[in-house]
């Protein structure tokens, strides 16, 4: 767009000009900025993903700060434009900041913010939902029902995987990975194996204590193991959920070779970032292994899916909705 066509302005006489590339929920954030003497401009353009050119037009000649979205490419070009406009701060409305070139921001003296911690439970809950939906074949069964194919109960109809007593694998046991692990261990009495660069001490203590509680109540205790490699998790776990940051160490962490090491009936869940999985290799693996199932919230070329993925009955796909929950 040559000029932003649709802008909502709050506090027009504010001293500092802050641009938000999207409308965001609520007004608390706007009021906080107004309290700091900011004029707040919100782009209300009906276009889901703004291009670099769109955002340069929004920044204009004078802009003190921008609040942007994970769908935008905040690299050298945008930080240079923001710096030319006198900008000093950029805030990414997301936990993940793989769309932000922090080195470029540093080069132009622009401070970068993100939103760590605010989406921990909601993302873990979606990962748990995808795990259950995949384990119990909920989407396939729903489609079958709506297609009018159900003509009576059968002993073998949509047999899925029982989670109790199986092993849940977590790759990236940070805030979200640990919250997910607790849900699966406590909710379904699964044993835990995890891989992270750092020890998840609190998570380990939680599983130990829960195991002791179960034992004291005459039940089989749950166990935990910190794997020495990611491959150990892939080999041993029945359900594997990916929660690392996306960077060059985690790009295509799950590839053809690694998929081949997983159990034939394993479940793989990804609520981190799409490029953590080589999606072309995944589609091929799903074709070859009909009882292998995936639950995906994120995609390698978001918003697109790699060819073939949408036809796979053993894939559950949702449009990046892990954060989309409200307190009611
Ligand atoms: N689908 C969605 O809507 C959402 C997705 N996310 C994604 O989830 C990611 C994780 O978020 P948090 O748990 O809050 O971050 P976090 O920083 O608490 O956890 C990330 C973990 O990944 C680990 N890690 C880094 N490199 C690794 C590697 N090579 N192998 C194994 N582990 C590695 C880190 O040590 C850390 O413990 C975010 O970076 C974001 O991309 C976050 C929120 C919502
Ligand atoms: O906050 C994030 O990283 C998200 O992916 C939100 O959807």
pLDDT tens per residue, range 232-250? 999 999 999 999 999 999 9
Centroid of ligand 2 to alpha carbon of 115 (angstroms) = 9
Average pLDDT of span 211-217: 98
User: Which residue out of 96, 113, 246 has the highest number of ligand 2 atoms within 8 Å of its CB and is therefore the one to mutate?
Assistant: 96
Average pLDDT of span 134-159: 98
Residue indicated by tokens 């380990």: 204
Closest to 96 in 3D by CA, of 73, 115, 122? 115
Average pLDDT of span 306-320: 98
- Active-site residue flag, 302: yes
pTM: 0.97
Closest to 253 in 3D by CA, of 293, 300, 291? 300
328 Cβ contact partners less than 8 Å away, ≥ 6 residues apart: none
Hey, whose CA ends up nearest to atom 11 of ligand 1? 176
Condensed to tens digits (0 to 9), the pLDDT of residues 76-108 reads 999 999 999 999 999 999 999 999 999 999 999
Which residues' Cβ are closer than 6 Å to ligand 2?
70, 94-96, 119, 320, 322-323
State the pLDDT confidence band at 3, using cuts at 50, 70 and 90: low
The answer, yes or no, to whether residue 28 has pLDDT greater than 70, is: yes
Average pLDDT of span 62-73: 98
Contact 314, 291 (CB under 8 A): yes
Centroid of ligand 2 to alpha carbon of 96 (angstroms) = 6
- What percent of the chain lies above the pLDDT cut of 90? 98
Check if 229 has its Cβ closer than 6 Å to any atom of ligand 1. no
Q: Does the interface ipTM go beyond 0.95?
A: yes
What is residue 167's three-state secondary structure? strand
Check if 282 has its Cβ closer than 6 Å to any atom of ligand 1. no
The answer, yes or no, to whether residue 283 has pLDDT greater than 60, is: yes
Hey, whose CA ends up nearest to atom 1 of ligand 1? 271
Chain centroid to Cα 292, Å, comes to: 21
Average pLDDT of span 297-306: 98
- What percent of the chain lies above the pLDDT cut of 70? 98
Ordered domains of the chain (ranges, CATH): 7-113 (3.40.50.720), 119-317 (3.40.50.720)
Which one from 273, 285, 293, 300 is the annotated catalytic residue?
Answer: 273
Hey, whose CA ends up nearest to atom 22 of ligand 1? 244
- Active-site residue flag, 236: no
The answer, yes or no, to whether residue 1 has pLDDT greater than 60, is: no
Mean pLDDT of the chain: 97
The answer, yes or no, to whether residue 4 has pLDDT greater than 60, is: no
State the pLDDT confidence band at 126, using cuts at 50, 70 and 90: very high
Hey, whose CA ends up nearest to atom 4 of ligand 2? 94
Closest to 1 in 3D by CA, of 46, 62, 35? 46
- Active-site residue flag, 252: no
pLDDT for 70 equals 98
State the pLDDT confidence band at 215, using cuts at 50, 70 and 90: very high
State the pLDDT confidence band at 5, using cuts at 50, 70 and 90: low
pLDDT for 116 equals 98
């Amino acid at each position: 767009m040559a000029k932003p066509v649709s802008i909502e302005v709050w506090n027009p006489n504010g001293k500092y000009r802050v641009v938000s590339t999207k409308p965001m929920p609520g007004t608390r954030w706007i009021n906080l900025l107004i309290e700091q003497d900011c004029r707040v401009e919100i782009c209300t353009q009906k276009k889901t993903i703004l291009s670099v050119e769109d955002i340069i037009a929004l920044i204009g000649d004078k802009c003190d700060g921008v609040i942007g979205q994970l769908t935008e490419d905040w690299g050298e070009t945008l930080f240079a434009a923001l710096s030319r406009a006198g900008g000093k701060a950029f805030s990414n409305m997301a936990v993940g900041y793989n769309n932000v070139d922090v080195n470029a921001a540093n080069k132009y003296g622009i401070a970068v913010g993100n939103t760590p911690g605010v989406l921990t439970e909601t993302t873990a809950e979606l990962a748990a939902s995808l795990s259950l939906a995949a384990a119990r074949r909920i989407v396939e069964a729903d489609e079958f029902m709506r297609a009018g194919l159900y003509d009576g109960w059968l002993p073998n109809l949509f047999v899925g995987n029982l989670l109790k007593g199986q092993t849940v694998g977590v790759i990236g046991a940070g805030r979200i990975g640990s919250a997910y692990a607790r849900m699966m261990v406590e909710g379904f009495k699964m044993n835990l194996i995890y891989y992270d660069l750092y020890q998840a001490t609190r998570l380990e203590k939680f599983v130990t204590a829960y195991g002791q509680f179960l034992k004291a109540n005459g039940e089989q205790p749950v166990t935990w193991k910190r794997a020495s490699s990611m491959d150990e998790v892939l080999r041993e776990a029945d359900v594997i959920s990916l929660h690392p940051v996306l960077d060059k160490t985690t790009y295509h962490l799950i590839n053809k070779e690694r998929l081949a090491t997983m159990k034939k009936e394993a479940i793989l869940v990804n609520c981190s970032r799409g490029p953590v999985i080589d999606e072309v290799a995944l589609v091929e693996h799903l074709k070859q292994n009909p009882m292998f199932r995936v639950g995906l919230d994120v995609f390698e070329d978001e918003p697109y899916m790699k060819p073939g993925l949408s036809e796979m009955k053993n894939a559950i796909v949702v449009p990046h909705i892990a954060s989309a929950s409200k307190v009611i």
